[in-house]
Amino acid sequence: MPRPFRYLIAVLAVAAGTACRINLPLEGLPYLFYIPFVMLAGFWAGVGPGILAAVLSMLTAEYLFVGSRFSFDGDLTQWRNNISFAIVSSLMAVVCAKLRGTLSRLNELNEDLEKQIELRIRERDQVWQLSPDMACTFDHAGRLRALSPAWQRTLGLPPQSLTGRVVTELMHPDDRASWTRALAGLREPATVEARLQGQSGEYHWLSWHIALQDELYYGAVRDITEFKAQQLVLEKTEEQLRQSQKMEAIGQLTGGLAHDFNNLLAGIMGSHDLMALRLKQGRTEGLERYLTMARSSVERAAALTHRLMAYARRQTLDPRPVDANALVQGMEELIRRTIGPHIRLETQLDPALWMTSCDPHQLDNALLNLSINARDAMPDGGTLSIRTANVSLGDDDYAELDLAPGDYLRIAVRDDGTGMTPDVARRAFDPFFTTKPLGMGTGLGLSMIYGFTQQSAGQTRIRSALGEGTTVEMYLPRFQGTSAAAPESTAAAVAPRQARGTILVVDDEETVRAVVVEALREVGYTTVEAGDAAGGLAILRSAQTLDALVSDVGLPGGMNGRQLADAAREQRPGMKALLITGYAQDAVIRDGQLPADLRVLTKPFTMDALRDQVDALMH
């Protein structure tokens, strides 16, 4: 409002107050009717016009209503009252002007707030309308209250048709239980995956992010059907890759087996043919040489199968308490001779090393194999170190070592040779994988060590870098019992005795059964034969005199050799048994223990070993 008009309002306000006072028959109260008009002048016109109205009101009241009319002849007291009125009414005008300013600012703020609210509503409405993700609200009964237009774009169902419906009515039956569990006792926002049926009848995978507020559930929902399909394709691709890698490993394994066994079979077959030719010619000289050659090939084949079973964790172990420090010290001389004088051997053995439980012969073989690998990695010489230490593993070590928490001892064999690339280190435990020149290695050494530690409830890890050497760490579980000196070999402890008694021989392989029977008869035993467990069980239930059972573990018909031995002891208490096994240790040894009247012989075996075991069993 222009300034002159504002001051004009002040003058008119004073005139209005004067007119009211003149037209009302009142005595005294000369200032009363001016007060509201001064306040209105201050409120509508501002501070300056309000003060002007107060001063004009004072002068008009003095001139017309105080003392003599139409004069300013009031005494000092009257003028003091006049000035007091002017001051008070001016302050009231200022207050009113300030109030008007405050109200104006409040109105402006209110208008700005309304504009911002309107803007936010429009923005949220745009998001609600245009967002590809769905939004909804529903109550505790699962009844949908409000839905965004994206529901129609995703499911083909308009929001109006979904409003009021219960969510679980549209949900896949398999997802309803997980949905109910997720909403039960919901306090913090949670994410649930559930399928809803669209207009076409197909189910859509939806990811629901749900929050509870004011007894109402708010959901932000995203269609993840395509993601789920891609995930399924990825899983199938990964499975195909794993299958491909498995087939590649099997191909490498079978190729290596075929190569090695063909060489061994060629030696055996050649020796056999030469012996047959000599016998046909009536020449017997030199036959022992061919027998020795065939026997050597057989022993090499046996060693190869033992290594394969070690990798597959199927070898028959003889676990016992082992002092690893004493074992390493006992092998030092052999290792020094194996690695040669150009390589220095260092040992750092923990004097407080715990005992472990494992097969000491397999640990010997593992250390020797690692020493040979270290020697081959240091053709120009170097240092081979063997260290032992106690380690206690916690839950955090599981991811790295794949070992249950507990106490272990670690045997680390380190060389400062050529080292391995990451790719070679990853494949180092694969059977028949080797980087050595042809004829320098079978590729089974590390795989045998890996299988041995795994079967002993331990682990093997390789740490290597190209040009920085290699460290192979074997982790073996701590032995918690009381150590005892290893007993002497039974075969050596038992002196030869005259073979007497009747033995039941059960084996489904006719050739093996015939050889076992012939070997036992050669030393004086009486034998009874059966080709399967059912036949053996029938003989056990008969009146046939029997002193012991010799059975293969892998028998047809649903009953293995261990089960047959258990049945034999039930039928004939005190019956002793010798089980012959090629790999199935788990079927023979239960809970790591063997009964005193049960022995195990691993294939392949010599006839002397068979007779020694039976002789020890009988006596």
Nearest Cα residue to 205 out of 177, 176, 188, 226: 226
| Cis bond before residue 595 (omega within 30° of 0) | no
Which of 27-36, 278-287, 560-569 has the largest mean confidence? 560-569
Rounded distance, CA 185 to CA 465, Å? 54
Q: Greater confidence, 17 or 441?
A: 17
pLDDT for res 497: 46
pLDDT in tens, 322-374: 999 999 998 888 888 888 888 999 999 999 999 998 888 888 888 988 898 88
469 and 370 inside one domain: yes
341 and 455 inside one domain: yes
- Asked if the model's pLDDT at residue 530 lies above 50, the reply is yes
* 550 found inside a domain: yes
Number of domains in the chain: 5
268 and 142 inside one domain: no
Rounded distance, CA 158 to CA 162, Å? 7
Output the domain CATH number for residue 209: 3.30.450.20
Cα dihedral angle (598, 602, 607, 609), rounded to 10 degrees? Answer: -60
pLDDT for res 506: 93
pLDDT in tens, 366-375: 898 889 888 8
184 and 81 inside one domain: no
CB 549 within 8 A of CB 568: yes
346 and 443 inside one domain: yes
506 and 586 inside one domain: yes
Look at residues 311, 331, 347 and tell me which one is the last residue of a structural domain. 311
Structural domain span for residue 20: 3-105
pLDDT for res 386: 94
pLDDT in tens, 113-127: 888 888 888 877 777
pLDDT for res 554: 83
Residues contacting 476, CB < 8 A, separation 6+: 324, 356, 357, 358, 363, 408, 409, 411, 453, 456, 458
Look at residues 90, 105, 120 and tell me which one is the last residue of a structural domain. 105
- Asked if the model's pLDDT at residue 494 lies above 50, the reply is no
Tell me the two tokens of residue 530: 């059966």
Look at residues 260, 291, 311 and tell me which one is the last residue of a structural domain. 311
* 110 found inside a domain: no
* 486 found inside a domain: no
Helices 47-64 & 34-45 angle (0-180, nearest 10): 160
pLDDT in tens, 174-190: 999 999 988 887 888 99
- Asked if the model's pLDDT at residue 486 lies above 60, the reply is no
Q: Greater confidence, 471 or 104?
A: 471
What is the β-pairing status of strands 382-393 and 343-348? parallel
Output the domain CATH number for residue 612: 3.40.50.2300
How many other C-beta atoms are found inside a 10 Å radius of the C-beta of residue 256? Answer: 20
473 and 352 inside one domain: yes
Structure pTM?
Answer: 0.43
pLDDT in tens, 269-310: 877 787 888 788 888 887 888 788 878 877 777 766 665 655
Rounded distance, CA 512 to CA 69, Å? 152
* 57 found inside a domain: yes
Taking residues 515-537, report their average pLDDT. Answer: 90
- Asked if the model's pLDDT at residue 548 lies above 60, the reply is yes
* 485 found inside a domain: no
Q: How sure is the predictor about 249, in pLDDT bands with cuts at 50, 70 and 90?
A: low
Residue 580 pairs in a beta bridge with 552, 601
Q: How sure is the predictor about 490, in pLDDT bands with cuts at 50, 70 and 90?
A: very low
60 and 163 inside one domain: no
